[in-house]
Amino acid sequence: MTQSATLAGAFDELADSYDHRHHEEIARVLIAWVAPGAADAVADVACGAGAVARQLARSRPETAPPVLAVDLSPGMVAVGRARAAARVPDTAIDWRVADAVPLPVAGHSLDVVLCASSLHFLGSRALADWRRALRPGGRVGFTLPLATHFRPSERFSGLLARDVPLPHTAREASRWATACGFTEADSRVQVLGTRRVVVTSATSPDGR
Ligand SMILES: C[S@@+](CC[C@H](N)C(=O)[O-])C[C@H]1O[C@@H](n2cnc3c(N)ncnc32)[C@H](O)[C@@H]1O
């Protein structure tokens, strides 16, 4: 079985018992940290049940482009669609079941890329793809678990990308984003009950 199929299967099994409350809170923090504009072209990368896409879609004008929401797991996307129904217009989110790397968009076509709790599954190749997909000066926002507070099950440990260093501090997360080619990286640690996440925003370089 491929790594993608294994990941999709693992998250399909988790879909019905997913901790939505925790991930809705992370989405709220991430959106507030990056603050996308009302008409921005935005992708929710490895969206799962689309906490980020749904929250954003609720706050945008009807004329805004649909939020692109991509995830490998059909089960997670089905839960997201169900949770969006009746709360968000059908056209406000463009759901896709697919590998999110590369994103199914033209180069330099996005204003903002958001990725909540997923980059440590995608691997650092995702950051290179976001630089391709973002317009110069576009914004990226991602969250990662704080290394000292991350307790994945054995099953999920085996699915983690080896080339994404989980940060011990906000500064470490910003340094990594900068080392991956972004500018103006800014991170902070967010306490959520007994859990801790690092939320980072950064800018795609303008190529000058
Ligand atoms: C912990 S969940 C986070 C989901 C969502 N972003 C949230 O905040 O609730 C990680 C998600 O990453 C997805 N995923 C992992 N690797 C992926 C890939 N290469 N392409 C698309 N989705 C992927 C999984 O299917 C899962 O839904």
CATH numbers and ranges of domains, the chain: 3-203 (3.40.50.150)
Atom of ligand 1 at shortest distance to CA of 27? 8
Atom of ligand 1 at shortest distance to CA of 70? 21
Structure-block tokens of residue 180: 């991956």
Residue whose pair of structure tokens reads 């935005």 in the numeric block? 42
Dist. CA 195–CA 188, nearest whole Å? 14
Does ligand 1 lie within 6 Å of residue 122's CB atom?
yes
- The confidence score (pLDDT) of residue 207 equals 58
Instruction: Give the single-character DSSP code of 61.
Output: -
Does ligand 1 lie within 6 Å of residue 197's CB atom?
no
- Using DSSP bridges, classify how beta strands 42-45 and 67-71 pair: parallel, antiparallel or unpaired: parallel
**Taking the model in full, what pTM does it have?**
0.97
Dist. CA 168–CA 70, nearest whole Å? 28
Closest residue (by CA) to atom 27 of ligand 1?
Answer: 48
CB 42 within 8 A of CB 103: no
Per residue in 53-98, pLDDT (tens digit) is: 999 999 999 999 999 999 999 999 999 999 999 899 999 999 999 9
Task: Give the whole-number percent of the chain exceeding pLDDT 70.
Answer: 99
1: confidence class by pLDDT, cuts 50, 70, 90: confident
Per residue in 162-204, pLDDT (tens digit) is: 999 999 999 999 999 999 999 999 999 999 999 999 999 999 9
Q: Give me the chain's average pLDDT, please.
A: 95
- Please choose, from the candidates 68, 208, 197, the residue with its C-alpha nearest in 3D space to the C-alpha of residue 144: 197
| Radius of gyration for the alpha carbons in the chain, expressed in angstroms and rounded | 16
Does ligand 1 lie within 6 Å of residue 129's CB atom?
no
